[in-house]
Amino acid sequence: MSSPLQHVALVYEGADAAVEHVTELVERDRTGDVAVLVCLPNVIATAVARRAGVHDGVTFLPADRRDARPVDAMHLLWRFLQDAFAQGARRVHTIGAIELDGSAADGDWHWYERVVNDVYADTPLTATCLVDLQRVPPAAIDCLQATHEAFVGDTGSLDAVGASSGCDESSLLPRRIELPERTADMVLLGIDRPAAARRALRDAVGGGHGERLSRAELVVSELVTNSILHGGGHADVRCWADADGITVEIADDGPGIADLMAPLRPPSLPERGAGLWTANLEATRLHVGHRVPHGTVVTARID
């Protein structure tokens, strides 16, 4: 029996081919019991909407609503699934595109695809990810094969992408955030009050960061609260501020977080994971690691 989750990569060459493939998928699935979400670049989405027409079962959203960061994509997917099933859908089909350019950020998206496989393994979901063969780096193809059960579309053109040395296992793991190579602007040891951590952060960072400082305060508050509740009752906090943003590190001596996918795992009911989820939404990037000899270290960057 096949898994309820069908996670496929739709490979294509050029925008016209993408429009053809996606229009076929939308026309096939726009029935009363399948909710379709399309998040694609405007030139493709507009052409698909023009050809497939308007239908209550199909939702078009700008690609930048989904593809800014993996946590944004996961948040959108989570909310859409909740709404679709609440409104009677028996299955959901999401169609999106991720721009892979060979940069380090590609690993964030490969990890996202891996997390989708875990989080939604038992969900009646078809997740179709568009891949432009004219632009995708060869190494990305191997990683896409590692995170998608099948390739569909212009599969005969895959050989033209070029050879690759394979998918580096590190590309399927959360990417670390490098700390500044200087003394921290703020160090708090054994802090057990989120309000005190927020106040110290404001004093250390000072003016000039505006909205970034507000986001950093929320991140620190949520993570310190997590440490107090789940990590031994207190936290050690460090902060570095520069012209482009704020880096924070929150560490505790608790049992640690065994689930490496936790930062991208939506909160569940009864409520679990809401603090880490909120911090990830507010941070530009967030990483969860292990503290030696035991405990958790969460690093966040707010740009």
For residues 91 and 67, give the distance between their C-alpha atoms in angstroms, rounded to a whole number.
22
* pLDDT tens digits along 119-146: 999 999 999 999 999 989 888 999 999 9
Place of tokens 């924070």: 248
Instruction: Give the residues of the chain that fall short of pLDDT 50.
Output: 1
Please report the pLDDT score of residue 99 as a whole number: 83
* Contact indicator for 235, 197 with CB cutoff of 8 Å: yes
Please report the pLDDT score of residue 1 as a whole number: 40
Please report the pLDDT score of residue 167 as a whole number: 86
Whole-prediction pTM: 0.91
For residues 27 and 50, give the distance between their C-alpha atoms in angstroms, rounded to a whole number.
12
Please report the pLDDT score of residue 66 as a whole number: 56
* Contact indicator for 89, 125 with CB cutoff of 8 Å: no
Contacts of 22 (CB under 8 A, 6+ apart): 10, 38, 40, 44, 48, 95, 130
* Rounded (10°) CA dihedral 208, 212, 217, 220: -120
- Give all domains of the chain, ordered by start, each with its CATH number: 5-172 (3.40.50.300), 186-302 (3.30.565.10)
Please report the pLDDT score of residue 8 as a whole number: 97
* Contact indicator for 148, 140 with CB cutoff of 8 Å: no
